[in-house]
Amino acid sequence: MRALLINPPYQTITSNWGVGHQVPLGLLMVGGALRYAGHEVSLLDAEAMGLTCTQIGEEVRRLEPDVVMTGHAGSTPAHPVCMEMFSEIGRAWPRALRVYGGVFPTYHDEQVLREHDAVDVVVRGEGEATAVALLDELARGGSASGVAGLTCRRSDSIIRTPDRSVVADLDAYRTGWELIDDWDRYQCFGRGRAAIVQLSRGCPHRCTYCGQHAFWKRWRHRDPVALADEIEWLHREHDIRFVTLADENPTTLRDVWLGFLDEMARREVNVEFFATIRATDIVRDADAIARYRQGGLRYVLMGIDTTDPAVIQQVRKRSSTQDDFTACALLREHGIHPIIGHIVGLGDETWAGLRRAGKALALYDGDYLNAMYAMPHSWTRFAQEQAGRAWVQPDQRLWDYRHQVLEERHLRPWQLFAAVKWLELRFHLRPRRLRRLLLARDPARRREAWWTAWHTGLVWLMEIVEFVRRGPTAGRRTAPASRDAPPIPRPRPSSPAQVHPRWTDRSRQERSWPAA
């Protein structure tokens, strides 16, 4: 079967002005599995190429695939543009089966099929095995309804086939790196070309606002040596210098985590890492933080989430302010940048509470602050607990952690927005932090810090511009009438952009991984 994977044209301020576009790992993993099973696969990264839906439709008509597949990392806010894109593809090339996967459609499968004729099949959960089974079945002349792990239409009804069990051996599948035709599109932190990989899937914790632990069902890990081989190969073949670990919780088993880092250190590959790690695990590994650094770990995002001990309890974070403080200090001492993830709106926000949070965050003395808003994703316990709270943001495109969605009793949306911007500014302009980063002795480090300061500043500014532009609609109160999903606004008109010419280069189909 000829499958076309499309990274949808979902654009964010954080990607366009901040960290940059990153490889669509979910699609690459599905694509690798399909290629390995003998299907012909191509990737169109419409996000990184800045394509419009009309241009995507034209490409699809030209390529005449049997199946078009999409899904996006920013799954909930990307949903409206995925639907707009599928509708356009339906008009341009109606013969292709349209398959949709990822977090949001997994939890809203029936609703998506009910509301959108443009979608034929929703793949629930992990995509590799289900996508292969689906295309194999279609190649045999069968139908989607005979394949486990998906939701589709049969006659006039929507059917959910039985759940598929999770992939037990993560090394059994390989990522379809050869689907990427221009690695220069993907860069991070001013370090050059960047990739994303997973050492593990899942998380043993149960924070109430997070749905990722349930999505992957249970924690599993790859062979650390096989992953180190793959990263070394990416560096050698594609000059990858920066790698993001997409794991929810890579440190779950200390031996596996340190085994991976030791393996990277032994190889002395010039690759640095970004990972999201719990403060409690950093404290657990206090005697081994030097090994984190030797393995190439450079940026650590810690979901500190709140500086209020009562809220830490309420969201079942299973950590403490002391852990958060100690973890930041440990990382800093070893030349690793602590990025503090702070969520606004988990509890009731007040001016006094936000002032206290600002002081506490400054005390932690992390290098960067990633301030986010609480999202009431329907599949989380947090959403159930907040069921009575009104939404100030019904536009699903803005359910992206960067916009307030839940109403605050004590603060109006513009007040909360101003407070968050103030929190970010105050944190990033601390003299101690500025001296440490921007005046670092090592010129390469200094350059990287200036790059990051510039891009962090741009995101900060562009978010203010966007808030002001949205004007009065920036925070309109709506009752939480439906817990299904917010209404989807009418698509915006498309803007012109170029189709990247190299995408038509079929020779890359011949490249394969691994080399050895």
Chain contacts with ligand SF4 (rule: CB under 6 A): 203, 205-207, 210, 212-213, 248-249, 278, 303
Taking a C-beta distance cutoff of 8 angstroms, is the pair 455, 18 a contact? yes
Q: Which is nearer to ligand B12, 70 or 151 (CB)?
A: 70
Q: Residue 314: which of ligand SF4, ligand B12, none does it interact with, CB under 5 to 8 A by kind?
A: none
| One of 246, 419, 437, 485 touching ligand B12 (CB under 6 A) | 246
Structure tokens belonging to residue 397: 């495109």
Residue 74 makes contact with ligand B12 by CB under 6 A = yes
Q: Whole-number minimum distance, CB 485 to ligand B12, in Å? A: 11
Residue 19 makes contact with ligand B12 by CB under 6 A = yes
Query: Considering CB under 6 A, how many residues would be counted as binding ligand B12?
Result: 40
Tokens 């629930």: give the residue. 124
Q: Which is nearer to ligand SF4, 180 or 283 (CB)?
A: 283
Q: Which is nearer to ligand B12, 41 or 246 (CB)?
A: 246
Give the separation between CA 100 and CA 84, rounded to whole angstroms.
13
Considering only CA atoms, give the Rg of the chain: 23
Residues 94-153 that bind ligand B12 (CB under 6 A): 99, 101-104, 123, 126-128, 131
Q: Whole-number minimum distance, CB 196 to ligand SF4, in Å? A: 16
| First-residue to last-residue Cα distance in the chain | 27
Residue 345 makes contact with ligand B12 by CB under 6 A = no
Residue 251 makes contact with ligand B12 by CB under 6 A = no
What is the distance, to the nearest Å, from the Cα of residue 160 to the centroid of all Cα atoms in its chain?
26
Taking a C-beta distance cutoff of 8 angstroms, is the pair 92, 125 a contact? no
Give the separation between CA 501 and CA 71, rounded to whole angstroms.
23
How many residues does the structure list for the chain? 516
Give the separation between CA 254 and CA 281, rounded to whole angstroms.
8
Residue 377 makes contact with ligand B12 by CB under 6 A = yes
Residue 230 makes contact with ligand B12 by CB under 6 A = no
- Helical ranges in 25-122 per DSSP H: 25-36, 46-49, 53-63, 75-92, 103-107, 109-115
Residue 29 makes contact with ligand B12 by CB under 6 A = yes
Q: Residue 53: which of ligand SF4, ligand B12, none does it interact with, CB under 5 to 8 A by kind?
A: none
| One of 183, 292, 368, 401 touching ligand B12 (CB under 6 A) | 401
Q: Whole-number minimum distance, CB 268 to ligand B12, in Å? A: 26
494: nearest Cα among 50, 28, 167: 50
Structure tokens belonging to residue 267: 């190889």
Give the separation between CA 308 and CA 355, rounded to whole angstroms.
12
Q: Residue 278: which of ligand B12, ligand SF4, none does it interact with, CB under 5 to 8 A by kind?
A: ligand SF4
Phi, psi angles (nearest 5°) of residue 289: -65, -30
Element containing residue 425 per DSSP (H, E): helix 413-428
Give the separation between CA 152 and CA 121, rounded to whole angstroms.
5
CA angle 445, 200, 267 (to 5 degrees): 50
For residue 183, the tally of other CB atoms under 10 A from its CB is 18
Residue 416 makes contact with ligand B12 by CB under 6 A = no
- How deeply is 9 buried, as exposed, middle or buried, from its count of CB atoms within 10 A (0-12, 13-18, 19+)? buried
Give the separation between CA 353 and CA 339, rounded to whole angstroms.
21
Residue 452 makes contact with ligand B12 by CB under 6 A = no
Q: Residue 73: which of ligand SF4, ligand B12, none does it interact with, CB under 5 to 8 A by kind?
A: ligand B12
Residue 304 makes contact with ligand B12 by CB under 6 A = no
Cα torsion angle, 309, 311, 313, 315, sign: negative
Q: Residue 30: which of ligand B12, ligand SF4, none does it interact with, CB under 5 to 8 A by kind?
A: ligand B12
Residue 402 makes contact with ligand B12 by CB under 6 A = yes
Amino acid at 112: V
Q: Which is nearer to ligand B12, 29 or 327 (CB)?
A: 29
Q: Whole-number minimum distance, CB 445 to ligand B12, in Å? A: 21
Q: Whole-number minimum distance, CB 286 to ligand SF4, in Å? A: 19
Q: Residue 37: which of ligand B12, ligand SF4, none does it interact with, CB under 5 to 8 A by kind?
A: none
Candidate ranges 23-31, 343-351, 434-442, 500-508; the one touching ligand B12 (CB under 6 A): 23-31
Q: What separation in angstroms does the CA of 218 have from each of 102, 206, 214, 296, 377? A: 17, 12, 8, 27, 20
Q: Which is nearer to ligand B12, 13 or 453 (CB)?
A: 13
Q: Residue 213: which of ligand SF4, ligand B12, none does it interact with, CB under 5 to 8 A by kind?
A: ligand SF4
User: Which parts of this chain interact with ligand B12 (CB under 6 A)?
Assistant: 12, 14-15, 19, 22, 24-27, 29-30, 47, 69-71, 73-77, 99, 101-104, 123, 126-128, 131, 196, 198, 212, 244, 246, 248, 377, 400-402
